Amino acid sequence: MKYVGGCTQCKTCEKVCPLNGIKVTDKPEFNLCYGCSNCAYFCPAGAIKPNLEYFDVLLAEGAGAAQSKFKRQYYVTFLKNITKECDCESDPKGIIAKDKGVLLSNDIVAIDKAAYDVITSKGTDDVFLKHNKKTGLEHVKAAEKMGMGKSAYILVEG
Ligand code: SF4
Ligand code: SF4
């Protein structure tokens, strides 16, 4: 992340960094960072920007690159064992939502939007925002903007 000027020393960035990696004196100093982008999203002064792009946009771009290699695509999302951190991490930091079942779709954006809605009761109980200080929708918005799919969906229960 980079400081682009205008810091008001509110220290919001210190509070939202999951690594406690920022120290604010007259401006933010980045001591530890894995690029989650929380500090940039939350800085009220717009004083922090990503070096490359917001994490969620990069995530969507990576998925888009993989998606472009396949003519037909079907997606399966297991809404089970939903953890605070990514379940690929050695310590995903505990379950934050009840199991909700399995989703199937041929649209990568629709299935992620549906997953978010099912887990959070359409955003009224955003456990991602609560636990990670960031909504679980940023990458969905980015992927839709890139034309990877549509966030509108019809949920058919079976
Ligand atoms: S959140 Fe922004 S304005 Fe507040 S201390 Fe951090 S860089 Fe400065
Ligand atoms: S991008 Fe995330 S990990 Fe890096 S300094 Fe900002 S809040 Fe901390």
Domain residue ranges of the chain, discontinuous segments joined by +: 2-49, 56-145
pLDDT tens sequence across 19-49: 999 999 999 999 999 898 999 999 999 999 9
- Is residue 1 within 8 A of residue 30, CB to CB? The reply is yes
Total-model pTM? 0.83
Atom 3 in ligand 1: residue holding the nearest Cα:
7
Top pLDDT among 140 and 88 is at: 140
The residues lining ligand 1, judged by C-beta closer than 6 Å to any ligand atom, are: 7-13, 24, 28, 43, 45, 47-48
List, chain by chain if needed, residues with CB within 6 Å of any ligand 2 atom: 1, 16-19, 21-22, 30, 33-39
Mean pLDDT, the chain, as a whole number?
A: 94
Asked if residue 85 has pLDDT above 90, the reply is no
Rounded CA-CA distance 27/7 in Å is 6
> Rounded CA gap, 21 and 104, in Å?
38
User: Hey, whose CA ends up nearest to atom 4 of ligand 2?
Assistant: 33
Tell me, what's the pLDDT at 125?
Answer: 93
Alpha helix positions (H), the chain: 12-16, 38-42, 55-67, 108-120, 127-132, 138-145
- Pairing outcome for strands 28-30 and 48-49: unpaired
pLDDT band per the 50, 70, 90 thresholds, residue 134: confident
37: left (phi over 0), alpha (psi -120 to 50) or beta: left
Is the CB of residue 91 less than 8 Å from the CB of residue 85? yes
Write the CATH number of the domain with boundaries 2-49: 3.30.70.20
Distances (CA, A) of 118 to 35, 125, 128, 152: 27, 10, 13, 14
Q: Residue 61 contacts by C-beta under 8 Å, 6 or more apart in sequence?
A: 53, 142, 146
Distance from the alpha carbon of residue 116 to the mean position of ligand 2, in angstroms: 23
Q: Which ligand is nearest to the CA of 43?
A: 1
